[in-house]
Amino acid sequence: MKLHEYQSKQLFSKRGIRIPRGRVAMTAAEARAIAEELGGRSVIKSQVLVGGRGKAGGIRLANNPEEAEELATEVLGMEIKGLPVRKVLVDEAAEIGSEIYLGITNDRMARSPVMISSAEGGVEIEEVASSSPEKIARVWIDPLLGLRDYQARNLAASMELPRDNWREFEGIARGLYETYVATDASLAEINPLVITKSGELLALDGKIVLDDNALYRHADLAELRDLDEEAPSEREARKYGLSYVKLEGEIGCMVNGAGLAMATMDVIKHLGGAPANFLDIGGGAGAEKVAAALGIILADHNVKSVMFNIFGGITRCDEVARGILMALREVRTDLPMVARLVGTNEEEGRKLLADADMNTAASLVDAARKAIAAAQGES
Ligand code: GDP
Ligand code: MN
Protein backbone atom coordinates (compact mmCIF):
# COMPACT_ATOMS: atom_id res chain seq x y z
CA MET A 1 0.00 0.00 0.00
CA LYS A 2 1.38 3.37 -1.07
CA LEU A 3 0.98 6.49 1.00
CA HIS A 4 0.50 9.93 -0.44
CA GLU A 5 3.26 12.50 -0.28
CA TYR A 6 1.47 14.50 2.41
CA GLN A 7 0.88 11.40 4.54
CA SER A 8 4.48 10.27 4.18
CA LYS A 9 5.84 13.70 5.08
CA GLN A 10 3.64 13.87 8.18
CA LEU A 11 5.07 10.55 9.33
CA PHE A 12 8.60 11.83 8.66
CA SER A 13 7.83 15.00 10.58
CA LYS A 14 6.83 12.97 13.65
CA ARG A 15 10.37 11.59 13.70
CA GLY A 16 11.96 15.01 13.63
CA ILE A 17 12.48 15.43 9.90
CA ARG A 18 11.84 19.01 8.85
CA ILE A 19 9.11 19.42 6.19
CA PRO A 20 7.60 22.55 4.61
CA ARG A 21 4.50 24.03 6.25
CA GLY A 22 1.37 23.19 4.28
CA ARG A 23 -1.98 21.41 4.07
CA VAL A 24 -4.12 19.46 1.66
CA ALA A 25 -6.92 21.06 -0.36
CA MET A 26 -9.76 19.44 -2.26
CA THR A 27 -10.84 22.64 -4.03
CA ALA A 28 -9.12 25.63 -5.60
CA ALA A 29 -10.77 27.98 -3.09
CA GLU A 30 -9.31 25.97 -0.22
CA ALA A 31 -5.92 26.06 -1.91
CA ARG A 32 -6.13 29.83 -2.07
CA ALA A 33 -7.05 30.05 1.62
CA ILE A 34 -4.08 27.88 2.55
CA ALA A 35 -1.75 29.95 0.37
CA GLU A 36 -3.01 33.10 2.13
CA GLU A 37 -2.37 31.51 5.49
CA LEU A 38 1.15 30.49 4.49
CA GLY A 39 1.95 33.89 2.99
CA GLY A 40 4.49 34.37 0.19
CA ARG A 41 5.05 31.85 -2.56
CA SER A 42 3.56 28.38 -2.46
CA VAL A 43 3.77 25.13 -4.39
CA ILE A 44 0.66 23.33 -5.60
CA LYS A 45 1.37 19.62 -5.61
CA SER A 46 -0.96 17.00 -7.08
CA GLN A 47 -1.51 14.09 -4.67
CA VAL A 48 -1.62 11.00 -6.85
CA LEU A 49 0.12 7.72 -6.18
CA VAL A 50 2.62 7.87 -9.05
CA GLY A 51 6.08 9.33 -9.43
CA GLY A 52 7.21 11.95 -11.91
CA ARG A 53 4.42 14.38 -11.10
CA GLY A 54 6.79 17.29 -11.64
CA LYS A 55 7.58 16.30 -15.22
CA ALA A 56 3.86 15.76 -15.90
CA GLY A 57 3.04 19.33 -14.83
CA GLY A 58 1.51 18.29 -11.52
CA ILE A 59 3.84 20.43 -9.37
CA ARG A 60 3.44 24.19 -9.84
CA LEU A 61 4.91 27.25 -8.21
CA ALA A 62 2.49 30.06 -7.26
CA ASN A 63 3.68 33.59 -6.49
CA ASN A 64 0.57 34.64 -4.58
CA PRO A 65 -2.82 33.32 -3.40
CA GLU A 66 -4.57 34.27 -6.69
CA GLU A 67 -2.05 32.25 -8.65
CA ALA A 68 -2.39 29.42 -6.15
CA GLU A 69 -6.11 29.29 -6.87
CA GLU A 70 -5.59 29.37 -10.65
CA LEU A 71 -2.92 26.68 -10.59
CA ALA A 72 -4.93 24.53 -8.20
CA THR A 73 -7.88 24.74 -10.62
CA GLU A 74 -5.59 23.52 -13.38
CA VAL A 75 -3.96 20.76 -11.38
CA LEU A 76 -7.26 19.54 -9.91
CA GLY A 77 -8.50 19.14 -13.49
CA MET A 78 -5.56 17.03 -14.53
CA GLU A 79 -5.00 13.34 -14.99
CA ILE A 80 -1.49 12.07 -14.30
CA LYS A 81 -0.59 8.73 -15.82
CA GLY A 82 -4.29 7.92 -15.98
CA LEU A 83 -5.06 8.97 -12.41
CA PRO A 84 -7.39 11.94 -11.88
CA VAL A 85 -6.06 14.49 -9.38
CA ARG A 86 -8.54 14.81 -6.52
CA LYS A 87 -6.45 16.72 -4.02
CA VAL A 88 -3.46 19.00 -3.92
CA LEU A 89 -0.93 19.69 -1.22
CA VAL A 90 -0.31 23.41 -0.80
CA ASP A 91 3.15 23.85 0.69
CA GLU A 92 5.22 26.87 1.49
CA ALA A 93 7.65 27.21 -1.44
CA ALA A 94 11.23 26.35 -0.62
CA GLU A 95 14.31 28.22 -1.80
CA ILE A 96 16.26 25.30 -3.18
CA GLY A 97 20.06 25.33 -3.07
CA SER A 98 20.56 21.73 -4.11
CA GLU A 99 18.59 18.48 -4.19
CA ILE A 100 19.74 15.12 -2.84
CA TYR A 101 18.19 11.67 -2.59
CA LEU A 102 17.74 9.61 0.56
CA GLY A 103 15.85 6.33 0.71
CA ILE A 104 15.64 3.02 2.49
CA THR A 105 14.34 -0.33 1.31
CA ASN A 106 14.91 -4.01 1.89
CA ASP A 107 17.82 -5.65 0.13
CA ARG A 108 16.60 -9.21 -0.20
CA MET A 109 19.95 -10.57 -1.31
CA ALA A 110 21.69 -9.01 1.69
CA ARG A 111 18.76 -9.88 3.94
CA SER A 112 18.82 -6.48 5.54
CA PRO A 113 17.59 -2.95 5.00
CA VAL A 114 19.78 -0.79 2.81
CA MET A 115 19.93 2.98 3.01
CA ILE A 116 20.69 4.69 -0.25
CA SER A 117 21.77 8.25 -0.91
CA SER A 118 22.82 10.29 -3.88
CA ALA A 119 23.84 13.86 -4.55
CA GLU A 120 21.78 13.54 -7.74
CA GLY A 121 18.40 14.17 -6.11
CA GLY A 122 15.11 15.25 -7.63
CA VAL A 123 15.29 12.78 -10.50
CA GLU A 124 14.19 9.18 -10.27
CA ILE A 125 16.79 7.09 -8.52
CA GLU A 126 16.43 4.31 -11.11
CA GLU A 127 17.63 6.79 -13.73
CA VAL A 128 20.69 7.71 -11.67
CA ALA A 129 21.36 4.02 -11.01
CA SER A 130 21.52 3.29 -14.72
CA SER A 131 23.20 6.48 -16.02
CA SER A 132 25.70 7.18 -13.23
CA PRO A 133 25.80 4.33 -10.71
CA GLU A 134 28.97 5.75 -9.13
CA LYS A 135 26.87 8.61 -7.76
CA ILE A 136 24.90 6.28 -5.52
CA ALA A 137 26.06 5.26 -2.04
CA ARG A 138 24.64 2.47 0.09
CA VAL A 139 24.93 1.30 3.67
CA TRP A 140 23.44 -1.94 4.93
CA ILE A 141 21.79 -1.77 8.32
CA ASP A 142 21.94 -4.60 10.83
CA PRO A 143 18.38 -4.65 12.20
CA LEU A 144 19.68 -5.64 15.65
CA LEU A 145 21.99 -2.62 15.82
CA GLY A 146 19.93 -0.11 13.87
CA LEU A 147 21.47 2.67 11.81
CA ARG A 148 24.84 3.69 13.24
CA ASP A 149 25.92 7.33 13.20
CA TYR A 150 29.07 6.50 11.26
CA GLN A 151 26.93 4.94 8.53
CA ALA A 152 24.94 8.14 8.14
CA ARG A 153 28.21 10.09 8.11
CA ASN A 154 29.56 7.80 5.40
CA LEU A 155 26.56 8.65 3.26
CA ALA A 156 27.00 12.37 3.96
CA ALA A 157 30.68 12.14 3.04
CA SER A 158 30.06 10.24 -0.16
CA MET A 159 27.62 12.94 -1.28
CA GLU A 160 30.14 15.62 -0.30
CA LEU A 161 27.47 17.21 1.83
CA PRO A 162 28.70 20.43 3.49
CA ARG A 163 30.14 19.67 6.94
CA ASP A 164 27.70 22.06 8.54
CA ASN A 165 24.83 19.81 7.53
CA TRP A 166 26.22 16.48 8.73
CA ARG A 167 24.69 16.47 12.19
CA GLU A 168 21.32 17.47 10.77
CA PHE A 169 21.64 14.81 8.09
CA GLU A 170 22.36 12.13 10.71
CA GLY A 171 19.12 13.09 12.45
CA ILE A 172 17.19 12.82 9.20
CA ALA A 173 18.72 9.47 8.31
CA ARG A 174 17.84 8.17 11.78
CA GLY A 175 14.30 9.57 11.50
CA LEU A 176 13.86 7.91 8.12
CA TYR A 177 15.14 4.58 9.44
CA GLU A 178 12.85 4.78 12.48
CA THR A 179 9.86 5.59 10.29
CA TYR A 180 10.68 2.66 8.04
CA VAL A 181 10.92 0.22 10.92
CA ALA A 182 7.98 1.56 12.93
CA THR A 183 5.57 1.46 9.98
CA ASP A 184 6.73 -1.90 8.58
CA ALA A 185 7.43 -0.15 5.30
CA SER A 186 9.07 -1.77 2.30
CA LEU A 187 10.23 1.63 1.03
CA ALA A 188 10.65 5.07 2.57
CA GLU A 189 12.08 7.78 0.39
CA ILE A 190 12.82 11.51 0.46
CA ASN A 191 13.40 12.77 -3.05
CA PRO A 192 14.37 15.50 -3.05
CA LEU A 193 15.84 16.20 0.32
CA VAL A 194 16.96 19.77 -0.29
CA ILE A 195 19.58 22.04 1.13
CA THR A 196 17.79 25.37 1.18
CA LYS A 197 19.51 28.60 0.23
CA SER A 198 19.69 29.38 3.94
CA GLY A 199 21.55 26.11 4.48
CA GLU A 200 18.91 23.89 6.11
CA LEU A 201 17.87 20.39 5.15
CA LEU A 202 14.21 20.04 4.24
CA ALA A 203 12.20 17.03 2.99
CA LEU A 204 10.34 18.37 -0.04
CA ASP A 205 8.87 15.11 -1.27
CA GLY A 206 8.02 11.90 0.55
CA LYS A 207 7.09 8.39 -0.43
CA ILE A 208 6.27 5.42 1.76
CA VAL A 209 5.21 1.98 0.62
CA LEU A 210 3.80 -0.17 3.40
CA ASP A 211 3.93 -3.93 3.56
CA ASP A 212 0.31 -5.05 3.15
CA ASN A 213 1.02 -8.17 5.15
CA ALA A 214 1.92 -6.09 8.20
CA LEU A 215 -1.05 -3.74 8.02
CA TYR A 216 -2.99 -5.83 10.51
CA ARG A 217 -0.83 -4.38 13.24
CA HIS A 218 -1.16 -0.78 12.09
CA ALA A 219 -4.84 0.08 12.21
CA ASP A 220 -3.99 3.79 12.05
CA LEU A 221 -1.96 3.38 8.87
CA ALA A 222 -4.46 1.02 7.24
CA GLU A 223 -6.99 3.84 7.56
CA LEU A 224 -4.82 6.04 5.37
CA ARG A 225 -5.66 3.91 2.35
CA ASP A 226 -7.06 6.11 -0.38
CA LEU A 227 -9.81 4.07 -2.02
CA ASP A 228 -10.05 6.62 -4.86
CA GLU A 229 -6.52 5.76 -5.90
CA GLU A 230 -6.92 2.02 -6.11
CA ALA A 231 -7.50 0.33 -9.42
CA PRO A 232 -10.98 -1.30 -9.31
CA SER A 233 -9.36 -4.68 -9.93
CA GLU A 234 -7.15 -4.30 -6.84
CA ARG A 235 -10.14 -3.35 -4.72
CA GLU A 236 -12.10 -6.38 -5.94
CA ALA A 237 -9.17 -8.69 -5.33
CA ARG A 238 -8.73 -7.42 -1.78
CA LYS A 239 -12.46 -7.78 -1.10
CA TYR A 240 -12.40 -11.45 -2.06
CA GLY A 241 -9.01 -12.22 -0.51
CA LEU A 242 -7.32 -12.91 -3.85
CA SER A 243 -3.64 -12.23 -4.43
CA TYR A 244 -3.60 -10.36 -7.69
CA VAL A 245 -0.84 -8.51 -9.50
CA LYS A 246 -1.49 -7.06 -12.92
CA LEU A 247 1.26 -7.56 -15.48
CA GLU A 248 1.76 -6.43 -19.06
CA GLY A 249 1.17 -9.67 -20.99
CA GLU A 250 -1.88 -11.14 -22.75
CA ILE A 251 -2.57 -14.44 -21.06
CA GLY A 252 -4.84 -14.22 -18.06
CA CYS A 253 -3.95 -16.82 -15.43
CA MET A 254 -6.06 -18.26 -12.65
CA VAL A 255 -4.16 -20.55 -10.36
CA ASN A 256 -4.49 -21.88 -6.84
CA GLY A 257 -1.36 -21.48 -4.76
CA ALA A 258 1.34 -18.84 -5.07
CA GLY A 259 4.04 -21.34 -5.99
CA LEU A 260 1.94 -22.91 -8.70
CA ALA A 261 1.04 -19.44 -9.98
CA MET A 262 4.74 -18.60 -10.28
CA ALA A 263 5.45 -21.89 -12.02
CA THR A 264 2.56 -21.27 -14.41
CA MET A 265 3.91 -17.85 -15.30
CA ASP A 266 7.39 -19.32 -15.80
CA VAL A 267 6.08 -22.00 -18.16
CA ILE A 268 4.11 -19.45 -20.17
CA LYS A 269 7.22 -17.26 -20.49
CA HIS A 270 9.39 -20.23 -21.30
CA LEU A 271 7.09 -21.24 -24.15
CA GLY A 272 7.13 -17.73 -25.62
CA GLY A 273 3.98 -16.22 -24.10
CA ALA A 274 3.44 -13.37 -21.66
CA PRO A 275 1.24 -13.63 -18.55
CA ALA A 276 -1.25 -10.80 -18.02
CA ASN A 277 -1.28 -11.27 -14.28
CA PHE A 278 -0.32 -13.20 -11.22
CA LEU A 279 -3.48 -14.50 -9.56
CA ASP A 280 -3.64 -16.87 -6.64
CA ILE A 281 -7.17 -17.81 -5.64
CA GLY A 282 -5.80 -19.58 -2.57
CA GLY A 283 -6.71 -22.90 -1.06
CA GLY A 284 -10.32 -24.06 -0.84
CA ALA A 285 -11.70 -21.27 -3.02
CA GLY A 286 -15.45 -21.54 -3.54
CA ALA A 287 -17.38 -20.82 -6.74
CA GLU A 288 -18.03 -17.20 -5.78
CA LYS A 289 -14.36 -16.42 -5.29
CA VAL A 290 -13.50 -18.10 -8.59
CA ALA A 291 -16.17 -16.03 -10.33
CA ALA A 292 -14.76 -12.82 -8.82
CA ALA A 293 -11.28 -13.80 -9.97
CA LEU A 294 -12.42 -14.45 -13.52
CA GLY A 295 -14.25 -11.12 -13.51
CA ILE A 296 -11.01 -9.37 -12.60
CA ILE A 297 -9.07 -11.16 -15.36
CA LEU A 298 -11.69 -10.39 -18.00
CA ALA A 299 -11.81 -6.70 -17.03
CA ASP A 300 -8.20 -6.38 -18.24
CA HIS A 301 -8.41 -5.38 -21.89
CA ASN A 302 -4.93 -6.73 -22.66
CA VAL A 303 -6.10 -10.26 -22.00
CA LYS A 304 -6.42 -12.34 -25.20
CA SER A 305 -6.78 -15.78 -23.68
CA VAL A 306 -7.30 -17.27 -20.24
CA MET A 307 -5.59 -20.23 -18.67
CA PHE A 308 -6.83 -22.03 -15.57
CA ASN A 309 -4.32 -24.14 -13.74
CA ILE A 310 -5.88 -25.78 -10.73
CA PHE A 311 -4.37 -28.40 -8.55
CA GLY A 312 -7.21 -29.86 -6.53
CA GLY A 313 -6.31 -30.60 -2.95
CA ILE A 314 -8.49 -28.78 -0.48
CA THR A 315 -9.73 -26.88 -3.51
CA ARG A 316 -12.18 -29.09 -5.38
CA CYS A 317 -11.98 -29.05 -9.17
CA ASP A 318 -15.76 -29.33 -9.60
CA GLU A 319 -16.23 -26.30 -7.33
CA VAL A 320 -13.75 -24.32 -9.42
CA ALA A 321 -15.49 -25.42 -12.63
CA ARG A 322 -18.81 -24.26 -11.19
CA GLY A 323 -17.23 -20.90 -10.34
CA ILE A 324 -15.92 -20.51 -13.87
CA LEU A 325 -19.33 -21.32 -15.35
CA MET A 326 -21.02 -18.99 -12.89
CA ALA A 327 -18.71 -16.14 -13.90
CA LEU A 328 -19.23 -16.85 -17.59
CA ARG A 329 -22.98 -16.52 -17.16
CA GLU A 330 -22.42 -13.03 -15.73
CA VAL A 331 -19.54 -11.80 -17.87
CA ARG A 332 -20.19 -12.68 -21.49
CA THR A 333 -16.97 -13.12 -23.42
CA ASP A 334 -15.63 -14.69 -26.60
CA LEU A 335 -12.13 -15.03 -25.23
CA PRO A 336 -10.58 -18.45 -25.71
CA MET A 337 -10.00 -20.32 -22.46
CA VAL A 338 -8.05 -23.42 -21.54
CA ALA A 339 -8.47 -25.34 -18.32
CA ARG A 340 -6.14 -27.77 -16.70
CA LEU A 341 -7.70 -29.29 -13.62
CA VAL A 342 -6.07 -32.12 -11.72
CA GLY A 343 -6.64 -33.57 -8.28
CA THR A 344 -9.72 -33.74 -6.10
CA ASN A 345 -12.89 -34.25 -8.19
CA GLU A 346 -11.06 -33.62 -11.47
CA GLU A 347 -13.40 -35.81 -13.56
CA GLU A 348 -16.49 -33.93 -12.37
CA GLY A 349 -14.71 -30.61 -12.95
CA ARG A 350 -13.57 -31.49 -16.44
CA LYS A 351 -16.96 -32.86 -17.39
CA LEU A 352 -18.69 -29.65 -16.29
CA LEU A 353 -16.32 -27.59 -18.42
CA ALA A 354 -16.41 -29.93 -21.41
CA ASP A 355 -20.22 -29.80 -21.33
CA ALA A 356 -19.87 -26.03 -21.60
CA ASP A 357 -17.52 -26.42 -24.60
CA MET A 358 -14.44 -25.27 -22.74
CA ASN A 359 -11.06 -26.35 -24.01
CA THR A 360 -9.29 -28.60 -21.51
CA ALA A 361 -5.66 -29.66 -21.33
CA ALA A 362 -3.95 -32.76 -20.03
CA SER A 363 -0.82 -31.11 -18.66
CA LEU A 364 0.54 -27.74 -17.65
CA VAL A 365 2.71 -27.49 -20.76
CA ASP A 366 -0.20 -28.52 -22.97
CA ALA A 367 -2.41 -25.88 -21.35
CA ALA A 368 0.23 -23.18 -21.73
CA ARG A 369 0.82 -24.06 -25.41
CA LYS A 370 -2.91 -23.87 -26.12
CA ALA A 371 -3.33 -20.59 -24.24
CA ILE A 372 -0.37 -19.04 -26.07
CA ALA A 373 -1.61 -20.22 -29.47
CA ALA A 374 -5.07 -18.86 -28.69
CA ALA A 375 -3.65 -15.49 -27.59
CA GLN A 376 -1.75 -15.30 -30.86
CA GLY A 377 -4.94 -16.09 -32.76
CA GLU A 378 -3.90 -19.55 -33.88
CA SER A 379 -6.49 -21.67 -32.16
P1 GDP B 1 7.74 14.24 -8.17
O2 GDP B 1 8.04 14.82 -9.52
O3 GDP B 1 6.45 13.48 -8.19
O4 GDP B 1 8.86 13.45 -7.61
O5 GDP B 1 7.48 15.50 -7.18
P6 GDP B 1 8.46 16.34 -6.22
O7 GDP B 1 7.73 16.72 -5.01
O8 GDP B 1 9.74 15.61 -6.00
O9 GDP B 1 8.75 17.65 -7.03
C10 GDP B 1 9.46 17.64 -8.26
C11 GDP B 1 10.41 18.81 -8.34
O12 GDP B 1 9.70 20.04 -8.21
C13 GDP B 1 11.44 18.84 -7.22
O14 GDP B 1 12.55 18.04 -7.51
C15 GDP B 1 11.81 20.31 -7.20
O16 GDP B 1 12.79 20.58 -8.16
C17 GDP B 1 10.51 21.00 -7.59
N18 GDP B 1 9.86 21.52 -6.36
C19 GDP B 1 9.05 20.86 -5.52
N20 GDP B 1 8.72 21.63 -4.47
C21 GDP B 1 9.34 22.83 -4.66
C22 GDP B 1 9.43 24.06 -3.92
O23 GDP B 1 8.86 24.24 -2.85
N24 GDP B 1 10.17 25.07 -4.47
C25 GDP B 1 10.82 24.92 -5.66
N26 GDP B 1 11.54 25.96 -6.12
N27 GDP B 1 10.79 23.79 -6.37
C28 GDP B 1 10.07 22.75 -5.88
MN1 MN C 1 10.08 13.47 -5.98
Q: What does the buried/exposed string (b/e) look like for 125-134 if buried means 16 or more CB atoms within 10 Å of the residue's CB?
A: beebeeeeee
Nearest residue (by CA) to ligand 1, atom 3, is 53
How does pLDDT run along the chain (379 residues), one tens digit per residue? 999 999 999 999 999 999 999 999 999 999 999 999 999 999 999 999 988 899 999 999 999 999 999 999 999 999 998 889 999 999 999 999 999 999 999 999 999 999 999 999 988 888 999 999 999 999 999 999 999 999 999 999 999 999 999 999 999 999 999 999 999 999 999 999 999 999 999 999 999 999 989 999 999 999 999 887 777 888 889 889 899 998 989 999 999 999 999 999 999 999 999 999 999 998 777 788 888 999 999 999 999 999 999 998 888 999 989 988 988 888 788 899 999 999 999 999 999 999 988 899 989 999 999 999 999 987 5
- Environment of ion ligand 2 (residues, CB < 5 A): 191, 205
Q: Which residues line ligand 1 (CB under 6 A)?
A: 43, 45, 51-54, 59, 61, 91, 93-94, 96, 99, 122, 191-192, 204-205
- 78 CB contacts (<8 Å, ≥6 apart)? 46, 56, 57, 58, 84, 85
Quote the pTM value.
Answer: 0.80
Residue 314 CA to residue 317 CA, distance in Å, equals 9
Residues in the chain, overall count: 379
Decide the pairing of beta strands 201-203 and 185-196: antiparallel
